[in-house]
Amino acid sequence: MELRQLYYFVKVARKEHVTQAAEELHVAQSAVSRQIHQLEEELGVKLFVQKGRNLQLTPVGQLFLKRAEVILGDLERTVTEIHEFLDPEKGEIRLGFPHSLGISLIPQVVASFRKIHPNVKFRFKQGMYPSLIRDLTKGEIDLAFISPFPNENEQVCGEILLTEELYAIVPPGHPLSKEASIALSQLQDETFVLFSEGYSLRPIVWDACQTAGFSPRIGFEGEETETIRGLVAAGMGVSLLPELALYDMGPLQPVKVRISEPAVTRTIGLIHRSNEKLPLVAKVFHAFLLRYFQDKINGV
């Protein structure tokens, strides 16, 4: 079965007339009739019956038309997507990122990029560290912001964009809320509000507390940065969050305090599949991001 046969069949089915279909297809009537006949022979069914001067679909022809239209529609969309894929001004960027970057960083970089490339579309996918790696390697996204940067994964490669400091956050009115900086050990008797298992910030906070000489006592767990901030602000405990997750977003906010000892940081990287070329539009965005963060580091 050939695609040309499907095109001819759908055109005849819509026109209910071989001559009119041939005229629109700019081919000879005999060529259309031959292709329809070959299609019917291959399928072993009659797709049309003669009704006066017109052709009418048989019941099986009606079924085949529905399927053929879906196939041709999918093909047309695929061809369009490929053209967009190769056009840095019209394509779509499939980008993954952790929830903590969705508050300010992702909107900022996307807005900056679209000032230069206003017709580029984005398809976003938020997720935890394991799901971002999985989505990238399966081809569901093309680029991913990720933290921490994966140093030992042969399926992905990329660059560290920045290293970000984590702050202690405490409720307003907390005895440490007026301090310019604290040692993390000063929080050892506090109840902690942490991300749930699977979120990359959880082991960073846990390991930092271990380095400071204690295991955090977990009172509450959450899956969103806003939840962590809100629970701390409401007096449910303390936590550690990166600065990018601490932009004011409402009246109920915790107080952030710098940690002097030990230094607590996280790396934020940009990764893509190893040994595979990025789509052109994603390649342009990748280059933009490297310049964007380099300028940030240099204070431009």
Confidence of residue 106 (pLDDT cuts 50, 70, 90): very high
Position 287 scores a pLDDT of 95
Same domain, 138 and 276: yes
Which pLDDT score is estimated for 1? Answer: 73
DSSP helix, strand, coil percent of the chain (3-state; round to 5):
45, 25, 30
Q: Quick check: 103 pLDDT over 90?
A: no
Residue 153: predicted pLDDT: 83
Most confident stretch, 2-6, 29-33, 120-124, 210-214: 210-214
Residue indicated by tokens 């041709």: 72
In the chain, beta strands by DSSP E: 48-51, 54-57, 92-97, 121-126, 143-146, 156-170, 181-183, 191-195, 217-222, 239-242, 255-261, 265-273
Q: Which domain CATH number covers 116?
A: 3.40.190.10
pLDDT at 299: 67
Residue positions counted in the chain? 300
Its pTM stands at 0.67
Hey, what amino acid is at 78?
T
**Structural domain containing residue 177:** 162-266
Please indicate, yes or no, whether residues 52 and 78 belong to a single structural domain of this protein: yes
CA atoms within 13 A on the CB side of 255: 15
> What is the four-CA torsion angle of 43, 48, 50, 52, rounded to 10 degrees?
-170
pLDDT number for residue 182: 97
Each residue's pLDDT tens digit, 255-296: 999 999 999 999 999 999 998 888 888 989 999 999 999 987
172-to-100, 144, 260 alpha-carbon distances in Å: 22, 35, 20
Tokens 């038309």 belong to which residue?
Answer: 65
How high is the pLDDT of residue 97? Answer: 95
| Pair (128, 277) in one structural domain | yes
pLDDT band at 254 (very low <50, low <70, confident <90, very high): very high
**CATH code, domain carrying 189:** 3.40.190.290
Mean pLDDT value across the chain:
89
- Model confidence at 80, pLDDT cuts 50, 70, 90, reads low
Please say if the pLDDT value at position 132 is more than 90.
Answer: yes
Q: Is the pLDDT of residue 159 over 90?
A: yes
Identify whether residues 79 and 228 lie together within a single domain: no
CA distances from 218 to 92, 191, 275 (A): 41, 6, 42
- Check residue 179 and give its pLDDT: 95
143 plus 212 within the same structural domain: no
Can you state the angle between helices 59-85 and 280-298, rounded to 10 degrees?
A: 40
The per-residue pLDDT for 166 is: 95
Among the residue ranges 86-100, 140-154, 178-192, the one predicted with the least confidence is 86-100
Residue 31: give its domain's CATH number.
1.10.10.10
Domain limit, last residue, from 30, 58, 85:
85
Whether the per-residue pLDDT at 300 is higher than 70: the answer is no
Looking at the fold, whether 78 and 7 belong to one and the same domain comes out as: yes
Residues 156 and 277 in one domain: yes
Number of domains present in the structure of the chain = 3
Enumerate long-range contacts of 221-229, CB under 8 Å, 24 or more apart.
221/193, 221/194, 221/195, 221/196, 222/193, 222/194, 222/195, 222/196, 223/99, 223/195, 223/196, 223/199, 224/99, 225/99, 225/100, 225/103, 226/103, 228/169, 228/193, 228/194, 228/195, 229/169, 229/253, 229/254
Same domain, 185 and 260: yes
Check whether 84 has a pLDDT greater than 70: no
The predicted pLDDT at position 115 comes to 93
Is 233 found in the same domain as 113?
A: no
What six digits make up the tokens of 209?
A: 């507390």
C-alpha–C-alpha distance, residues 274 and 259, integer Å: 36
Give the mean pLDDT of 198-216. 94
Residues 181 and 216 in one domain: yes
Highest mean pLDDT of the ranges 88-92, 99-103, 136-140, 183-187: 183-187
Write down the residue that tokens 């055109």 correspond to.
Answer: 11
Q: Where do the DSSP E strands lie in 62-174?
A: 92-97, 121-126, 143-146, 156-170
Q: What is the pLDDT of residues 215-249, one digit of tens each?
A: 999 999 998 888 999 999 999 999 999 988 887 66
Domain boundary among 24, 52, 85: 85
- Residue finishing a domain among 48, 66, 85: 85
Single-letter code of the amino acid located at 60: V
State the average pLDDT over residues 171-180.
Answer: 95
Same domain as 276, residue 152: yes
pLDDT at residue 94 in the model = 93
Same domain as 182, residue 128: no
